[in-house]
Structure 1
Amino acid sequence: MSDTTLLQRLNILLERPFPDLEACLEHFREIFPSRVGNYHQEEVGPIYHHDLPGEADRFVAKEFHLGEATMDMSDGLDWYAAPAGDLEWNGGLVRHGYFMLLATEYEKTGREVYAETILEHMLHYIEHVPVFDPAGKAYLDYKKSTWRPFEAAGRVAETWPEALSKVIGSGAMTADAWARILISVHEHAVFLRKEHWKTGNHATLEVAALGIIACFYPEFKESPEWLAYAVKFLDGMWPDLFAEDGYSKEMSGSYHWVAMRSYFSFFEVACANGHDGIFPAHYRERLILNSYAELYQDKPDGSTPISNDSSSTINRREQLLRIHRLLEIPEIGFFLNGGKEGPVPAVTSYFYPHSRIGVMRSAWTPDGNYLYFDMGAWGDNHMNQDQLSIEVSAKGRHFLINGGKWRYTTSDPNAEWMPLAKYFKATASYNCVLVNGLGQIFGDAEGRMVISDNCDYADGTFGAGFGEEVPGRDEKLFRERGLSTLMENRLPGVVHRRQVFFAKPYGWIIRDTIEGPGITHADQLWHFFEGPLKPLNEERSAWSTDFPDSNLIILSPGRATVYEGQKEPFIAGWHCPYYDQLRPAPELRFTQQGSKRITFHTLLLPVDGPVTSMPDFSWSENAYTVQHGPVGFQVSAPCSGIWTIQ
């Protein structure tokens, strides 16, 4: 394409035409870096590059190290590559997050090779990967195209702006290259305006991207319309995406920020570029509500609970700092400085009344005792069978933790790794119960929580049933909500009730009651973040971790079996710190036989130092007694009333 043709094609898109391509480049060189400023988005998908020494040079050599897989493309760039058939790796590739790494290295060193690599790869993608028309196409074909709106938004509004703002002044950037990039940015925006998702966090990310493009590139004729559309769409979507308590309806500890991230980032960019007046007053108020929802759920170290698709290594301290800088929420500042200064949050324990999540917390210090209890809806887009699961962190350690997110199941259903991926979405990978060896079917839980000065009490039930996967897939649900399996109820009428009591600040008593027709046995599962574990009695009903500084004691009736790193005859004893990462981790499984009604009475007691003795833990129909050294308490525990300290 000649310079004249390229200029004509570009000027059609712009509110004010340029006399030549050089004038266009000079205009953007002067203004674009200040528009972008310090804008930086952490990568949104599960597969990322690694910010490690030498990694940028690997991309220069076309050695693509993303997540846990590496592909050598020195013989030619392949934007459709997907190692082991995992389309999430391809998503990480085509969102071009590694451009940010290369741009940072260019900024630090001034070496043109980093800018040259960004532009070589970006222009190669623009030239060789045409826009995809999704009409009538299967969802997996859409995802393979690299033009799913999620990927398009991730590159054009998140990774490209940061990288381009740093290399636009480099010797590698030519007027011809910049014109082709601008035309592609416009092409992306038009595609997003037409094809963005209509539900879930994908929809808001894609539309927020449209608004961000309008802020960074106001020269496009459509930018005012894109800006207005983004505000209106996001404002209208908020009640669909968030409960009235501010928590994401996806019901995922890690994805709550992802859901609010689009709202926040668009607001952040718009305010920095003088567009703060376009938002209704309640937009900022909602962001503050979302921010408190994030703060109240996070563990003492800032990591997120694992509910639905989540990972244990995701930590939100960086995001909380961004929130604090823009919205100036003082309690977030208190949390970030470890409780050293600032106003203490008004609550320690917290119940999300609409989302039905209970967080029991002894203090806002890094060594505080913390329990997360999910009594809420199944969720949306990232749903797992994890109702009534709990997690425990205490005394500066993670103890009980759910399995995590290994790989998404929205790839080839016949991939050899798919059974393991499905395990991490199933009840067996959570701190829940199995009935007759079966996990939960799809369904919501119900629950309530009462908070007082010396104790907290939560009461949750799950009654949708327990069953197993059957062949088939609903293509509409697969495309719109990421649901890749079907299940059938094998135990209709069976109800799991979990009651959780926090004797502040010491520990927790948990009563699990499984009731209904057809019950033969139940397994109570406890997944530990790490070992070692040791039994405290010959009956193997009392266990503890075995660390020198702090530990968790767990007592429950019945003999427990420990599993760690098992794949046959069933999968058990695994943890995923992050996407595509897998490591053995101890799982305690208490089993009881019975019919119609089975009850587990469980004590979870964090302690300082090595465990040298077993607590005295006894119960009757309506009471519990605990004594361990100087720690002792009695609990009134009626079946139908609120539990209290006696």
Structure 2
Amino acid sequence: MRACCRAGACGGRMGNSREVELVATETTAAHPTGDEDIVVSLGDFIRDLRIDRPELGAVKTALERGDIDAAGRAYIAWFRTKDMTSELFVDWGRRRREPDYDVSRDDGLLPRPVLMLGIQNEYTIESADGLLAGRMWDGYNTCDVSRTGIDWREGPLPCITRLPVLGTMRHAMFETGDAKYARWAADHIAEYMHNWPIEEFIGKGTVGWVDNNTVSRPWHWCMHPERIMEISHTLTLLRTFPEVSDDELLAILHRVYQEAVWVRLHAHEWVDQRHNGGLGMITGLAYACQTLEDFGAAEAWSDYNARMLAQYIGEAFYPDGQCIEMTCAYSQMVINQVQRIACALKDRERMQGAMPRLKAIVDWAIGLRRPTGLLPAFGDLYPSSFSHAIHRPLLDWIDIPYAKTILGEQEAPLPPFVDWPPPGTQAWAGRYVMRSDWSPDALYLCLHAGPPGISHQHGEKLSFVLAAHGADFIIDPSSTRYRSNDPNAFISGQRAGFLHNTITVDGVDVHLNEPLEVTQPHENPWEHGEHFVYAAGRYSFAPAADAQWQRRIVFVDRSYWLLQDVITGEGPSASIEQSFQFEKGTEVEIDGTRTICTAPNGARLAIIPLEGSLQPTVSIGDRSPHITYWPHGEQTEHPHSRGWTGRSSHALMPAPAVTYSGRAPLPATISVALIPLAPRAEMVLPGITSSTADGKTLWTLLYPGGAVTVTTDAISCEVRA
């Protein structure tokens, strides 16, 4: 390591407290410039303590006489008893006072931070005892290490260097007070530090992934930040156990300090990419700053972190609040962390300028939320409870009172919008939500007509999801977690276009053939009248197929939908498939060309073809291979076909899918009515008629007291009421 402080700081007696204070503010750990700066000696680490603080008087006295060991002991004596209440840590005191406190509000237990999304964790005593018995896991794979111990280098647990099991041990420590869990956690951290000395990080960069069955190197960009968070959370409990020695606690804090230097050095590389890994590093550094608040470097790191977070908020989100990754499960965890860290840094000047975008982010989450309580599952993995998208203290800071209504904490006020993006505002994400109201039984449809996103893309352009009367009917088929060595694993990302609620033309499905993000708002139709909402989008299958597709959706009097797919191309005809994927547990009945779907609560959705000659077939858990053009327009074989959904678990689950297929002359227009029916409601369908003249079709869509008219041809669509 280069000289890290002024003369006299690396040994010997300090001249006076003023000199020590200056030394503490000028370490290269606070402003590292190279990997060698991450190797900080124990002495330099302790000398960085802010001994101007009265509570560190014993540390100051020891340092002034040159006794590093005594200074370390004095600091740990303070660390064991200090107040560690924070925006970031689990409020253990509140959990003791309120046995029914919802632990899902605490980042240290649930929800999982973004870099752990898809990780399966268990907060039970049984799981903790399993770890003590050698049943090790990393959230993806499992391994019995009872006889061999953990292989920290070549073992089959790729994410073990995140230290994800510490959450389970925290739960056991808190619930039982038994020191055996604290000892195991301390030993686990010590094993990691011994097997991966900090010196080995030098020159390795931020990529250290090996494969799905080998330990990831700890400098890998999505291992490091989570590890700091896990250790920091664990220290808030570990310090209370006398069975964990002062030397052990000091060694762990010293390692957190050094790893924080590494994050400070490399965070900008991922923030500049607008990648969620950048946010992970911001979050990890925030936790390190909170844990190490008594050290001089932490103040400089916090200033830097506020700058990085402001950059991330400004560049990784569209003005309408959608994360440019466009994947909802990740976005949910991303925005939770953004809000949480922004609140922790709200006194920093840079956070004041981020407030409008933070409000847009919350409005995005509220706008996309399904009446049944979850976000749509566009992109990888499966969203968790909507409450995990919102960090409640932010609602008071920025004053978003209607968010508390959506969270079920009060009855009013409701959001000032029903559809999203609100009428008259710019649509950057290209996702359009039309809903009847804010009740749990509301009718809801979300059309994805935007870009694929900069990561975790799926072939879901122009796909949509639909919920009604308390049930999810048409869903975006979600994926499993990324890997598992479970013998019954059935892993799938469900990314291919044909798996989604989309169109295929001559076997070609939606694939990546357009920019991953946009630089200006969409110009897709997004129109609102007193008795209708209308949205549309376009997709070209070129160059894989010479065909274009336009999807139009009209919400009639907020009571039912007209769905129209128009396919054009140079050929005289094309083989067309129109797919609908339904939620697990939905019963599907084919009646001629009609599809009647019944949810577990008795609500129904009728899919009524109005135009076209396609015929329906049902798929449930079809394991046969299927042709796809995902991801880049070249024909490949997908390992399974339609009729599946996931829950970020180790295996797909069968769920019914209906595909309407057939050959049609081009241009082809496929018109379908989507009619939701409440439980026990009679099958009474609205009046829908059509007439054709001069190449245009006039649709008359009745509702009580009036009608919406839709005039269409292969090029245009005009809606009136």
Question: Match of 1:33, SS?
Answer: coil
Among 413, 417, 421, the alignment partner of 1:347 is: 417
Backbone CA RMSD of aligned residues: 3.3
Q: Does 1:108 align with 2:175?
A: yes
- Do the aligned partners of residues 453 and 108 (structure 1) sit closer, same or farther apart at CA in structure 2, a change above 3 Å counting? farther
Match of 1:33 in 2: 84
Match of 1:185 in 2: 256
Following superposition, the deviation at residue 532 of structure 1 comes to: 4.3
Q: Does 1:395 align with 2:469?
A: yes
Match of 2:97 in 1: none
Structure 1 residues 39-438: aligned runs within 5 Å: 40-41=106-107, 42-44=111-113, 45=116, 46-52=118-124, 54-65=126-137, 67=139, 69-75=141-147, 76-79=149-152, 90-91=158-159, 93-130=160-197, 131-132=200-201, 135=204, 140-141=209-210, 144-156=216-228, 158-196=229-267, 197=270, 198-199=272-273, 200-270=275-345, 276-311=347-382, 313-320=383-390, 322=392, 323-324=394-395, 327-337=398-408, 341-351=411-421, 353-408=427-482, 421=492, 424-438=494-508
Instruction: Calculate the TM-score normalised by the size of structure 2.
Output: 0.76
What is the rounded CA distance, in whole Å, between the counterparts of 1:318 and 1:360 in structure 2?
23
- Do the aligned partners of residues 432 and 363 (structure 1) sit closer, same or farther apart at CA in structure 2, a change above 3 Å counting? same
What is the rounded CA distance, in whole Å, between the counterparts of 1:546 and 1:268 in structure 2?
40
Whether contact under 8 Å (2:502, 2:510) holds in the other structure is: no
Match of 1:598 in 2: 668
Q: Does 1:456 align with 2:533?
A: yes
Q: Does 1:564 align with 2:620?
A: yes
* Between 61-70 and 342-351, the greater mean CA deviation after superposition: 61-70
What is the rounded CA distance, in whole Å, between the counterparts of 2:317 and 2:179 in structure 1?
45
Deviation track 1:291-316 (CA, whole Å, cap 9, x = no partner) reads: 111111111133111212241x5222
Give the number of aligned pairs.
Answer: 600
* Between 362-371 and 563-572, the greater mean CA deviation after superposition: 563-572
Whether contact under 8 Å (1:32, 1:216) holds in the other structure is: no
Whether contact under 8 Å (1:7, 1:20) holds in the other structure is: no
Among 532, 549, 558, the alignment partner of 1:496 is: 549
- Do the aligned partners of residues 80 and 626 (structure 1) sit closer, same or farther apart at CA in structure 2, a change above 3 Å counting? farther
What is the rounded CA distance, in whole Å, between the counterparts of 2:208 and 2:237 in structure 1?
36
Deviation track 1:334-366 (CA, whole Å, cap 9, x = no partner) reads: 11228x622111111112611121011111111
Question: Match of 1:497, SS?
Answer: strand
- Do the aligned partners of residues 256 and 165 (structure 1) sit closer, same or farther apart at CA in structure 2, a change above 3 Å counting? same
Q: List runs of 5+ in structure 2 lacking aligned partners.
A: 1-11, 13-39, 52-62, 92-105, 516-521, 627-640
Question: Match of 2:313, SS?
Answer: helix
Whether contact under 8 Å (2:161, 2:217) holds in the other structure is: no
Deviation track 1:495-545 (CA, whole Å, cap 9, x = no partner) reads: 1110011113211111111212356211111000024434353x3343333
The one-letter amino acid of 1:72's match is D
* Between 442-451 and 359-368, the greater mean CA deviation after superposition: 442-451
Following superposition, the deviation at residue 65 of structure 1 comes to: 4.9
- Do the aligned partners of residues 531 and 141 (structure 1) sit closer, same or farther apart at CA in structure 2, a change above 3 Å counting? closer
Question: Match of 1:300, SS?
Answer: coil
Whether contact under 8 Å (1:321, 1:336) holds in the other structure is: no
Whether contact under 8 Å (2:531, 2:708) holds in the other structure is: no
Following superposition, the deviation at residue 279 of structure 1 comes to: 3.3
- Do the aligned partners of residues 52 and 517 (structure 1) sit closer, same or farther apart at CA in structure 2, a change above 3 Å counting? farther
Whether contact under 8 Å (1:201, 1:258) holds in the other structure is: no
- Do the aligned partners of residues 452 and 27 (structure 1) sit closer, same or farther apart at CA in structure 2, a change above 3 Å counting? farther
Whether contact under 8 Å (1:387, 1:444) holds in the other structure is: no
Following superposition, the deviation at residue 583 of structure 1 comes to: 0.3
The one-letter amino acid of 1:257's match is Q
Whether contact under 8 Å (1:551, 1:608) holds in the other structure is: yes
Q: Which has the larger radius of gyration?
A: 2
The one-letter amino acid of 2:675's match is L
Deviation track 1:154-174 (CA, whole Å, cap 9, x = no partner) reads: 120x22222210221112321
- Do the aligned partners of residues 637 and 30 (structure 1) sit closer, same or farther apart at CA in structure 2, a change above 3 Å counting? farther
Following superposition, the deviation at residue 442 of structure 1 comes to: 0.9
Match of 1:509 in 2: 562
Among 522, 535, 555, the alignment partner of 2:576 is: 522
The one-letter amino acid of 1:90's match is P
* Between 550-559 and 58-67, the greater mean CA deviation after superposition: 58-67
Following superposition, the deviation at residue 201 of structure 1 comes to: 1.5
Match of 1:609 in 2: 679
Question: Match of 1:609, SS?
Answer: coil
The one-letter amino acid of 1:452's match is G
- Do the aligned partners of residues 310 and 119 (structure 1) sit closer, same or farther apart at CA in structure 2, a change above 3 Å counting? same
What is the rounded CA distance, in whole Å, between the counterparts of 2:350 and 2:205 in structure 1?
36
Whether contact under 8 Å (1:241, 1:248) holds in the other structure is: yes
Whether contact under 8 Å (1:68, 1:581) holds in the other structure is: no
* Between 277-286 and 132-141, the greater mean CA deviation after superposition: 132-141
- Do the aligned partners of residues 26 and 151 (structure 1) sit closer, same or farther apart at CA in structure 2, a change above 3 Å counting? same
What is the rounded CA distance, in whole Å, between the counterparts of 2:306 and 2:359 in structure 1?
17
Following superposition, the deviation at residue 270 of structure 1 comes to: 3.5
Match of 1:470 in 2: none
* Between 226-235 and 13-22, the greater mean CA deviation after superposition: 13-22
What is the rounded CA distance, in whole Å, between the counterparts of 2:298 and 2:473 in structure 1?
50
Following superposition, the deviation at residue 236 of structure 1 comes to: 2.3
What is the rounded CA distance, in whole Å, between the counterparts of 1:431 and 1:211 in structure 2?
40
Following superposition, the deviation at residue 34 of structure 1 comes to: 3.0
The one-letter amino acid of 1:163's match is T
The one-letter amino acid of 2:419's match is S
Whether contact under 8 Å (2:490, 2:652) holds in the other structure is: no
What is the rounded CA distance, in whole Å, between the counterparts of 1:284 and 1:551 in structure 2?
42
Deviation track 1:471-504 (CA, whole Å, cap 9, x = no partner) reads: xxxxxxxxxxxxxxxxxx421x421110011113
What is the rounded CA distance, in whole Å, between the counterparts of 1:277 and 1:327 in structure 2?
15
What is the rounded CA distance, in whole Å, between the counterparts of 2:178 and 2:599 in structure 1?
50
- Do the aligned partners of residues 212 and 140 (structure 1) sit closer, same or farther apart at CA in structure 2, a change above 3 Å counting? closer
What is the rounded CA distance, in whole Å, between the counterparts of 1:100 and 1:327 in structure 2?
31
Following superposition, the deviation at residue 457 of structure 1 comes to: 0.2
Identity %: 20
The one-letter amino acid of 2:344's match is V
Match of 1:11 in 2: 46
Deviation track 1:301-333 (CA, whole Å, cap 9, x = no partner) reads: 33111212241x522214326243654421111
- Do the aligned partners of residues 512 and 80 (structure 1) sit closer, same or farther apart at CA in structure 2, a change above 3 Å counting? farther
What is the rounded CA distance, in whole Å, between the counterparts of 2:717 and 2:487 in structure 1?
48
Match of 1:484 in 2: none
Among 641, 650, 653, the alignment partner of 1:580 is: 650
Deviation track 1:553-581 (CA, whole Å, cap 9, x = no partner) reads: 11234210100111114311110122434
Whether contact under 8 Å (1:210, 1:230) holds in the other structure is: yes
Instruction: Calculate the TM-score normalised by the size of structure 1.
Output: 0.84
What is the rounded CA distance, in whole Å, between the counterparts of 1:124 and 1:135 in structure 2?
21
Following superposition, the deviation at residue 240 of structure 1 comes to: 2.1
Q: List runs of 5+ in structure 1 lacking aligned partners.
A: 84-88, 467-488
